[in-house]
Chain A
């Protein structure tokens, strides 16, 4: 298996690990910040650390899970450092924002376009952690335990956080249909 080969120092296996995961990791990073250089540095640091500490690594249940969790940690530290220097702190001191975008997609029908607009609006009102959990579940398709691991939550908290997000999403959709304003969180 690729992970085992890589741990034994197989450079080709390590290259493959990068090829298979770099795009999605960069994409994930892009949700936290638009600072391209910072995201690149984070992915760079991740892979350097991966190689240099390969002897000490265990057998993760899912390589993707492991990489996401590691990248998230690196990004958090970099963004936190940056926010301390620039004095730009988020409310509650959370340097990790999270935002998905729907700009590039070219939609086939007007119906789908309307749905897109609604989704974008509804998801956009969620706080960052809820946006992230929705992303990890519906875009990356991680399981509850994997999400818990990546976001450093208990599995129970994961269910709760996701459900909170989904309740808001549902409310956003039914409210719009009913012609009412979006309910406040």
Chain B
């Protein structure tokens, strides 16, 4: 690359130049040096270079349409049409070693809902809050995407710069973290990504994961990549645990359970399609999650009903179908009356 050709370049010329674009998008020590030297040699070009680079970076901050549930649904259509007989459940039977989106669920007490959900500034932090039953996808300044379930809050500092990327989550979120790490042997602070939940920090280098943070417990399920959990309770020696793909842990009562392998980690994000998929659950737990996410209040005619076990698998879309299915299989009557779910 020679300097002279760039001496009289305008913004458009730089944007059209492949070497320039490469230097902005995939900087190396060598190219960084070149562009720095160019700016020194032709100081008049400094502003032009900066403008062109800013335009590229700013343009790349645009919205990316992402709907993980949609992609899965679409695949099901495709597989059903041309796939081998057993392929229609291809998405749920992949072996452990494959790359899957990382689902991290952190359950902790939800903050009381502020008046009006949406985006607002909280001191130095930026915060996005969803209303009950609302799904919202947020793109952070590094390109990381977070899909929030209902009644959830994501808070993060407004300017990361070279500092580690940190967010605070209450509720449930599916994270697709931009992988920034160049050299695994030497992780730069800015390449780290940490999710703070009550009592637990989840650190990832770049991966996708779902976090369910609801009252009482934190559930963490890793599908792809690698994450490290550290407990952060005062007066307690910090414990660290590294999860491998497919691992699932629960953190409750300040105690981190031993990881267990999930047969179907992808079920952790079916909420993004408003699908309810689970096997062998306890009625009380299922209704509790409806309460957390949708804001219903559950009333039991007989309190023992909460302990009823749901045998077999359930896969339904939408709350009405779920209530119908539960009523039928458990021989109870669950009715929705306004914001109440009444179990008889």
What residues make up the interface of A, taking CB atoms closer than 8 Å to B? 11, 15, 18, 22-23, 26-27, 30, 40, 43-44, 47-48, 51-52, 100-109, 112, 115-116, 119, 123, 134, 137-139, 141, 143-144, 159, 162-163, 166-167, 169-170, 173-174
8 A Cβ contacts from B66-89 to A:
66-67, 70-71, 74-75, 77-78, 81-84, 87
List chain A residues, Cβ under 8 A from B65. Answer: 26-27, 30
List chain A residues, Cβ under 8 A from B25. Answer: 141
Shortest CB distance A70–B (Å): 15
- Interface secondary structure of A, over-half rule: helix
- A11-B83, A11-B84, A170-B11 in contact; A100/B63 too (CB < 8 A)? yes
Q: Are the C-beta atoms of B74 and A169 separated by less than 8 Å?
A: no
- A23-B71, A104-B63 in contact; A167/B18 too (CB < 8 A)? no
B332: interface (CB < 8 Å): no
List chain A residues, Cβ under 8 A from B71. Answer: 22-23, 26
A106 to B60, CA, bound (A): 13
Sample (8) of A-B pairs whose CB atoms are under 8 Å apart = A11-B90, A23-B66, A27-B64, A44-B74, A48-B82, A102-B61, A163-B16, A174-B11
Q: Are the C-beta atoms of B139 and A22 separated by less than 8 Å?
A: no
B128: interface (CB < 8 Å): yes
- Of the candidate stretches B50-58, B257-265, B269-277, B291-299, the one touching chain A is B50-58
Excluding A11-B87, A26-B67, A26-B70, 5 further A-B contacts by CB distance (< 8 Å) are: A11-B84, A22-B71, A22-B74, A112-B141, A115-B54
- Picked from A52, A101, A139, A143, the residue with its CB within 8 Å of the CB of B60 is A139
List chain B residues, Cβ under 8 A from A137. Answer: 21
B158: interface (CB < 8 Å): yes
- A100-B63, A139-B62 in contact; A44/B78 too (CB < 8 A)? yes
Q: How many A-B residue pairs have CB under 8 A?
A: 116
List chain B residues, Cβ under 8 A from A52. Answer: 82
B309: interface (CB < 8 Å): no
Counting contact residues on chain B (CB < 8 A from A), the size range is: 35 or more
Q: Are the C-beta atoms of B141 and A105 separated by less than 8 Å?
A: yes
Q: Are the C-beta atoms of A169 and B61 separated by less than 8 Å?
A: no
Q: Are the C-beta atoms of A173 and B141 separated by less than 8 Å?
A: no
- Picked from B55, B62, B119, the residue with its CB within 8 Å of the CB of A173 is B55
List chain B residues, Cβ under 8 A from A105. Answer: 61-63, 139, 141
Q: Are the C-beta atoms of B61 and A116 separated by less than 8 Å?
A: yes
Q: Are the C-beta atoms of B128 and A166 separated by less than 8 Å?
A: no
List chain A residues, Cβ under 8 A from B82. Answer: 48, 51-52
Sorted nearest first, the 8 A-B pairs with minimum C-beta distance are A166-B12, A30-B65, A170-B11, A170-B12, A27-B65, A108-B159, A115-B58, A104-B63
A15 to B86, CA, bound (A): 13
CB-nearest residue of chain B to A18: B75
Which of B10, B12, B25, B51 has the most CB atoms of chain A within a 10 A radius of its CB? B12
CB-nearest residue of chain A to B71: A22
Shortest CB distance A98–B (Å): 12
- A106-B126, A163-B16 in contact; A27/B59 too (CB < 8 A)? no
List chain A residues, Cβ under 8 A from B51. Answer: 173
List chain B residues, Cβ under 8 A from A141. Answer: 21, 25
- Picked from B58, B61, B78, B160, the residue with its CB within 8 Å of the CB of A47 is B78
A43 to B125, CA, bound (A): 39
List chain A residues, Cβ under 8 A from B62. Answer: 100-102, 105, 139
CB-nearest residue of chain A to B75: A18
A27 to B66, CA, bound (A): 7
8 A Cβ contacts from B123-149 to A:
126, 128, 137-141
List chain A residues, Cβ under 8 A from B56. Answer: 138
A102 to B57, CA, bound (A): 13
Which of B63, B67, B94 has the most CB atoms of chain A within a 10 A radius of its CB? B63
B326: interface (CB < 8 Å): no
List chain B residues, Cβ under 8 A from A173. Answer: 11, 51, 55
A27 to B117, CA, bound (A): 26
Shortest CB distance A154–B (Å): 17
B15: interface (CB < 8 Å): yes
Q: Are the C-beta atoms of A106 and B119 separated by less than 8 Å?
A: yes
